[in-house]
Amino acid sequence: MSASGWVNDIVTDQSSTSDDVQQSSYYLVCEDNLTFLESISDDSFKLIVTSPPYNLGKDYESRMSVDEYVELQSRTIRECIRVLHPNGSICWQVGNYVDNGEIVPIDTILYPVFKSAGLKLRNRIVWHFGHGLHCTRRLSGRYETINWWTKRDDYTWHLDPIRVPSKYPSKRYYKGPNAGKVSGNPKGKNPSDVWMFPNVKSNHPEKTIHPCQFPVELVERLVVSMTDKGDKVFDPYMGVGSFAVAALMHGRVPYGCDTVPEYVEVAHHRVIELLKGTLKTRPMGKPIYDPAKPNGGHG
């Protein structure tokens, strides 16, 4: 069932905030991802970014054995690899499957699926956030991982758009041929493979009806560093379309599917709000709220 179809060449009104979203195409449908992928040609997408179900028995999934889960994920992953551009990246964002207090880190059970298909793991980004369930018989979980895989060594990669401010921007070489010159990159430093920003809980500006949205900033960082303007980006488990918002904000073309009609509807709504310039998102790079600082450190 398709909640909508192609929605092409949307031209925004004057209230739009960014040139990148002035002329935008997007394709978001209500469909099982394996069915959706049947219609996609090989090598289509420069970036595939997703957060699949974790087999936790949420409303949108049926709980199954770990072997069945890996088999189902493998089918989607193999199809994603087929439609990935040769210079493209796959970012699989996962946490833990939990069974009776025992945790199974999902990236460890999916690692062999990607590796045996010939992909190379470039980073296992640890995304740390401050809120979640409080555990009593083990430590409370406060991170998930984004596993960045590529097909080849010449993958698209731009570090500059995701640089963060250097800790000591005026630090200088104190000896050698460059003595006295600033030692760091004036554009900022590499953000490292540990990322810290809030997860989408009830007071987050991006919160919708979905129980497990990822923040737009998470996708923005991947989109601007791993794709070029005009590239196609795909999310096979798109939920309420956070990936589409991030892709359109930066002039990329999002393709996504989800099996729950209400989520697809919200995804469309968010995209339309974005194109009108009225969607609220947490800005990329905004400092984490710190109660010890005046105004939480938000200026």
Ligand X SMILES: C[S@@+](CC[C@H](N)C(=O)[O-])C[C@H]1O[C@@H](n2cnc3c(N)ncnc32)[C@H](O)[C@@H]1O
| Site residues for ligand X per CB under 6 A | 32-33, 51-53, 60-61, 210, 212-214, 237-240, 242, 257-260, 263
Minimum Å distance from CB 54 to ligand X? 7
Minimum Å distance from CB 48 to ligand X? 12
In a 3-state reduction of DSSP, which class is residue 81?
Answer: helix
Instruction: Please say which residue, 87 or 145, places its beta carbon nearer to ligand X.
Output: 145
Q: How many CB atoms lie within 10 A of CB 127?
A: 20
Instruction: Please say which residue, 2 or 178, places its beta carbon nearer to ligand X.
Output: 2
Q: How far apart are CA 223 and CA 247, in angstroms?
A: 6
Instruction: Please say which residue, 87 or 240, places its beta carbon nearer to ligand X.
Output: 240
Minimum Å distance from CB 256 to ligand X? 9
Instruction: Please say which residue, 53 or 251, places its beta carbon nearer to ligand X.
Output: 53
The pair phi, psi for residue 31, each rounded to 5°, is -165, 150
Instruction: Please say which residue, 217 or 231, places its beta carbon nearer to ligand X.
Output: 217
Answer whether 46's CB lies under 8 Å from 88's CB: yes
Which segments within the chain are labelled E, that is strand? 6-11, 23-30, 45-50, 84-94, 96-99, 102-105, 120-128, 143-150, 194-196, 232-235, 253-258
Which segments within 177-265 are labelled E, that is strand? 194-196, 232-235, 253-258
Answer whether 243's CB lies under 8 Å from 256's CB: yes
Minimum Å distance from CB 267 to ligand X? 7
Instruction: Please say which residue, 106 or 224, places its beta carbon nearer to ligand X.
Output: 106
Minimum Å distance from CB 266 to ligand X? 8
* DSSP label at residue 186: T
Instruction: Please say which residue, 78 or 163, places its beta carbon nearer to ligand X.
Output: 78
Q: Tell which residue, 221, 222, 256, has the closest CA to residue 240.
A: 256
Minimum Å distance from CB 196 to ligand X? 18
Minimum Å distance from CB 202 to ligand X? 15
Which residue's CB comes closest to ligand X?
239
Q: Would strands 84-94 and 96-99 be described as parallel, antiparallel, or unpaired?
A: unpaired
The pair phi, psi for residue 250, each rounded to 5°, is -115, 20
Q: How many CB atoms lie within 10 A of CB 294?
A: 8
Minimum Å distance from CB 182 to ligand X? 39
Instruction: Please say which residue, 28 or 224, places its beta carbon nearer to ligand X.
Output: 28
